[in-house]
Amino acid sequence: MLNIAKTILINTTFIFFSSVLAKLINVLFIVYASRVLGPSNFGIYALIGTLTFLFSYFTSFGITPMGVREIARNRQGVEELFNNILAIRICFIAISYFLLYLTVNLLNYSEEIKTLVYISAISIFFSTFTSTFHILYMAFERMVIPSLVTVLNSIINTILGLTALYLGYGLLGVIWSGVFINVVGAILSGIWVRKMFFKYRLSVNLKLWIDLLKQALPFALILFFQQANRHLAVLFLSKLPAPVPQTQAVGLFNSASALPQSAMMVPASIRQALLPTISVNRDDLEKIKTIIDKITRYILIFVSVPLVLLTTFFSKQIITILFGKAYIESAPALILLGFAYALQAFNTSANVTLSSSRDITRVIPWVGSVTVFNVLLIIPLIYYYSFVGAAVAVLISMTVNTYGRYYLLKKLWKINVAEFFQTRKALISAVGLFMLCWLVFLLNKNQIFTFCLIFGLYTAYIYYLGIFSKDEQLFQMIVSKLRRKNGTHHH
């Protein structure tokens, strides 16, 4: 178990720190862009990103997690498998671009938005290469190279984007800079894969293609439904009549979701590091239970709880500092989305475990029904409450989704959430912590003093749970590594 914890920790660390740096760079860009563009044009920028992001899923079609799972299980036939995966995804690029073209025309967006979407969609071609190359690194649990590529892409993209805005090229300049960086990322990733693994080539084995697509279909549908809820909110906000003008509503919603989205870099890092580990050890149920319990507990303590505290008690201050007073209306949406993303983070281990299940097809009806429920909910809420209504719909859908995840975990894996004693203790303590913080918030009007008190309560919460005690395996591992280093230096 200690070796597994070590592998997860090392891989998560590389992915996490690269994600932190990439997200910090991206946040700097978003903050500057939101102020330069204003809520309306910032909304157009968010809409373009959403459209491109949604249709990039058609180039993946669930192949990434399926490929990671299969290569992690059997690495002997990796070259043939990878070559066919690369060829499949290139074929899907044409399908994706056609669907994107059809959608923006059917939805009758302005010519400006259409042109920007067409240019942005060029990125899909090159990002497909990059993400396909990353499959190998994730499957072999070697996360350093893709992490470096991620950081490098973010740095160059931000510099180019800021330069384009500063020189007055506006959205067009930002979009073209994104295309350029995806070209660079694809080239670098391709060169490194040739050096680190093998000289890949396109391969067409129709029998293997059919088998791969059958295996990938459940992943494709699940990943689409998982991502659809938030992105559908942006699409509906861009077209439905509401109290707030459409592009402005998208801009306000996007500013409210920026901070919670940034916090998801930790669960995303853990998810990438955890998938091959769960896949390899999926026949050892007790080991899987221990992994889920520990990882869920860590995410709850270090992601979900801080996110809820910050967005609930300091939403106006966060919006004002990051985006300016023009976005202050989005503060209520930030509170709602803070809870929604906290739940999303909490579900990370359950999501990865379900993705590794042999009965993954049984997950599809549930996630599909949650998406339909979200659509039925979001339309009237946007009509009456605009972007705040969209945030309410996302939170309700994520709550239902959380129940479904742990219900399926019990059905498919015979793992009952009630057995997660460490997580349960942390969750019950978190409820008590929130109530104490709420009392502090109501009784004290000094913002700085309130922040210090809440931070003190959160620190006491961590101490109470004994995260850094000698009983923690990850803590023991870090201490032993430090001792070995000190011993080496001494000799």
Residue 1: other Cβ atoms inside 10 A = 13
Residue 452: other Cβ atoms inside 10 A = 13
According to the model, what pLDDT value does residue 483 have? 42
Q: Identify the burial level of 167 via C-beta atoms within 10 angstroms of its C-beta, where 0-12 means exposed, 13-18 middle and 19 or more buried.
A: exposed
Which pTM was predicted? 0.77
Identify the residue with better confidence: 12 or 47: 47
Specify the range with the lowest mean pLDDT, choosing from 102-106, 139-143, 487-491: 487-491
Model confidence over 360-404: pLDDT tens digits? 777 778 878 888 888 899 999 999 999 999 999 999 999 998 888
Q: Identify the burial level of 197 via C-beta atoms within 10 angstroms of its C-beta, where 0-12 means exposed, 13-18 middle and 19 or more buried.
A: middle
Q: How far apart are CA 94 and CA 114, in angstroms?
A: 18
CA-nearest of 197, 203, 182, 169 to 80 is 203
What are 139's two structure tokens? 């499957």
- pLDDT > 70: what percent of the chain? 83
Contact partners, residue 480, CB within 8 Å, separation at least 6: none
Sign of CA dihedral 146, 479, 487, 490: positive
H/E element, 41: helix 2-60
According to the model, what pLDDT value does residue 303 have? 92
pLDDT-derived band at 50 (thresholds 50, 70, 90) equals confident
What are 31's two structure tokens? 């903050």
CA-nearest of 1, 2, 124, 122 to 58 is 124
Q: Identify the burial level of 398 via C-beta atoms within 10 angstroms of its C-beta, where 0-12 means exposed, 13-18 middle and 19 or more buried.
A: buried
pLDDT-derived band at 431 (thresholds 50, 70, 90) equals very high
Pure H helices in 246-314? 246-263, 265-280, 285-299, 305-313
Q: Which residue has the tokens 């709880």?
A: 305
According to the model, what pLDDT value does residue 252 have? 92
pLDDT-derived band at 475 (thresholds 50, 70, 90) equals very low
Q: How far apart are CA 358 and CA 139, in angstroms?
A: 18
What phi and psi values does residue 444 have, to the nearest 5 degrees? Answer: -120, 135
Q: How far apart are CA 286 and CA 85, in angstroms?
A: 33
One-letter amino acid at 181 equals: I
What are 362's two structure tokens? 């049984």
The answer to whether 451 and 434 have CB atoms below 8 angstroms apart is no
pLDDT-derived band at 2 (thresholds 50, 70, 90) equals very low
Model confidence over 294-304: pLDDT tens digits? 889 999 999 99
H/E element, 469: none
Most confident of 119-123, 205-209, 333-337, 487-491: 333-337
According to the model, what pLDDT value does residue 15 have? 57
Q: How far apart are CA 304 and CA 263, in angstroms?
A: 9
Mean pLDDT along residues 96-117: 86
The answer to whether 415 and 289 have CB atoms below 8 angstroms apart is yes
CA-nearest of 11, 37, 485, 486 to 255 is 37
What are 364's two structure tokens? 């599809």
Q: What share of the chain is helix, strand, coil (3-state, %, to 5)?
A: 90, 0, 10
DSSP-derived letter for residue 205 is: -
